[in-house]
Structure 1
Amino acid sequence: MAICSPSSESSSATSGRAWVVHALVVGAAVVAAVGAHAAVYFKWFRKDRSRVVGIIPARFASSRFEGKPLVRILGKPMIQRTWERAKLASTLDHVVVATDSEKIAECCREFGADVIMTSESCKNGTERCNEALQKLGKNYDVVVNIQGDEPLIEPDIIDGVVRALQGAPDAVFSTAVTSLKPEDGLDPNRVKCVVDNHGYAIYFSRGLIPFNKSGKVNPQFPYLLHLGIQSFDSKFLRIYPQLPPTPLQLEEDLEQLKVLENGYKMKVIKVDHDAHGVDTPEDVEKIEALMRERNIS
């Protein structure tokens, strides 16, 4: 499998269809506990939240797929394809790649991306986004964490999660879900989500949720699959690394759970999207076959 050597940017973007499943709800102020000895109160009544940066966290080391951001998909590095899709989102003022790898940084600079070097000690993409935000040295109201392993992410979905956060002043976080295919119900790499009647996240799990007495996937139930894209209020992103790890977060290995366990609200939109993430080398062939089918070069 070939690694890197970017080609010219010429991908044709197909506009996606994103739709919000629940009405956006106006909320109240959130009290955020910061550190062991102090409480800081943040007002989330931001009517603007207008300055938005998209950050694509990318690391070279991976237990399942080392060097994944650089793997070529129909001739282009996957990180390039993700960057090109993100650049088409109308709500983003700027798009950068945040990485701890010089190989990834060099590759990204060759195809024209702005790069922020981050520490190898970042535990997850959220912490990498936070470090990149500090190093950018510019004031942004919203930070969008765009997963680099979804090279077919729709720009409309990026815009959707941004507008969801802009329209929910009581939330500090927004994300997207789509319909879960029954055959993916028991796949731990497919993260599931449940939401309340107002469109706020209740829980995320690698297991099937909700789970019924039969112990089987119910093909009639509208299970929800979490998509990796998520946006944060920039104030919250700065305090996220200071929040201690939580039991559910550690058990499920899902960073979203630390947000919920600390009492913050997370807005969720449902979108019409076929999720095609790259988790293993075998997924590359599936993505390429799909792109050929859709005439995406």
Structure 2
Amino acid sequence: MASFCSPSSDSLGGKAKLAHALLLGAAIAASAAAAAYYGRLRRWRTRVVGIIPARFASTRFEGKPLVQILGKPMIQRTWERAKLASTLDSVVVATDDERIAECCRGFGADVIMTSESCKNGTERCNEALQKLEKDYDIVVNIQGDEPLIEPDIIDGIVRALQGAPDAVFSTAVTSLKPGDGLDPNRVKCVVDNNGYAIYFSRGLIPFNKSGQVNPNFPYLLHLGIQSYDAKFLRIYPQLPSTPLQLEEDLEQLKVLENGYKMKVIRVNHDAHGVDAPEDVKKIEDLMRERNIS
């Protein structure tokens, strides 16, 4: 005779089925919640604008944006490269000089006039953002003096920021040539194991005990292109200047010193910026080698 104190095999099977159903239901609910979360994440920071800050006055190279490079103004060549990036909804030039504005309108670029009081490209991008008719989630600051910037790099830093909710800033680095190790115009960067910036410097970092460039160490060169969360960009001008920022004269240090995170991607790119008049010939020679007209 069956004992009333012991459950039957049928009742055990029923309870197992019930537990399985509950677990399955919980798994389905969790899966749906995760799908909804990642769906929102994919839609997050989707509207992207590229801004090319350009000013005429420069202590090292006055009128640099308008210098001719194989028959086109440098600002036009940069704009044309930026337009090839698939993540940008639009590309605009932000300037405080009517000569640059007139030139850019001539080749079809949208132009936003900004104040002469902007201290750097980031502040100029912020002012331009406030004047744009559309709302954007990400702003890409595209340096106008890199006329050979790769569209894939623009797309890379945008996607890096989209994929890092805890970061407000993203940028790119590439391998530093040993001969550029002590050049203060070549900004160096060190990055942690998770791809976030630790520090930027005009000096050699890391700096070893010998005081010499180690040809076997993978030093990183910072590329000037960077993207910002649009909400962060609006508060950036209100952040106090910081000691390291002022000492190194590097605006990205203000971001780090104020406690914000910066995502960094590594790319294979030969940096070809125009810092001085003599750099123009180097760019033109390189373009001829690559059959770029």
TM-score class normalised by the smaller sequence: 0.7 to 0.9
Whose strand proportion is higher, 1 or 2? Answer: 1
Q: Please point out which of 184, 205, 213 is paired with 2:180.
A: 184
Q: Does 1:247 align with 2:247?
A: no
Shift of 1:46: 8.0
Classify the secondary structure of the residue corresponding to 1:272: coil
1:222 equivalent to 2:218? Answer yes
Residues 192-207 of structure 1: pairs in structure 2 closer than 5 A: 192-207=188-203
Higher helix share: 2
Partner of 1:156: 152
CA RMSD for the aligned pairs? 0.8
The count of corresponding residues between Structure 1 and Structure 2 is: 253
Matched, 1:57 2:44: no
Q: Structure 1 vs Structure 2: percent identity of aligned residues?
A: 90
Runs of 4 or more off by more than 3 Å in structure 1?
Answer: none
1:120 aligns with 2:130: no
Superposition map of 1:17-32 within 5 A: none
Question: In 2, Cα distance between the equivalents of 1:85 and 1:159?
Answer: 12
Asked whether the equivalents of residues 99 and 105 of structure 1 are also in contact (C-alpha less than 8 Å), the reply is yes
Aligned residue for 2:195, secondary structure, equals coil
Whole-Å Cα distance in 1 between the matches of residues 44 and 167 of structure 2?
14
Look up the match of 1:283: 279
Q: Distance in 2 between matches of 1:138 and 1:155?
A: 23
Q: State the secondary structure of the residue aligned to 1:287.
A: helix
Residue number in structure 1 paired with 2:87: 91
Separation in structure 1 between the aligned mates of residue 43 and residue 107 of structure 2, nearest angstrom: 36
Deviations 1:108-131 (CA, angstroms, capped at 9, x unpaired): 000000000000000000000000
Contact 1:174 1:266 survives alignment (8 Å): yes
Please give the alpha-carbon distance, in whole angstroms, between the structure 2 residues aligned to 1:64 and 1:255.
18
Unaligned runs of 5+ in 1: 1-44
Alignment map for 1:128-147 (pairs within 5 Å): 128-147=124-143
**Distance (Å, rounded) in 1 between the aligned partners of 2:200 and 2:65:** 25
Shift of 1:249: 0.3
Post-superposition Cα deviations, 1:201-242, rounded to whole Å, max 9, x if no partner, equal 000000000000111100000000000000000000000000
Q: Report the secondary structure of 1:248's partner residue.
A: helix
Residue 270 in structure 1 maps to residue 247 in structure 2 = no
1:68 is matched by which residue type in structure 2?
A: K
Give how far 1:137 is off. Answer: 2.9
* Alignment partners' CA distance in 1, 2:82 and 2:237: 25
What is the match of residue 71 of structure 1? 67
The gaps in structure 2 that reach 5 residues or longer are: 1-40
Separation (CA, whole Å) in 2 of partners of 1:67 and 1:251: 26
Deviation of residue 48 (structure 1)? 1.6
Which structure would you say has the larger Rg?
2
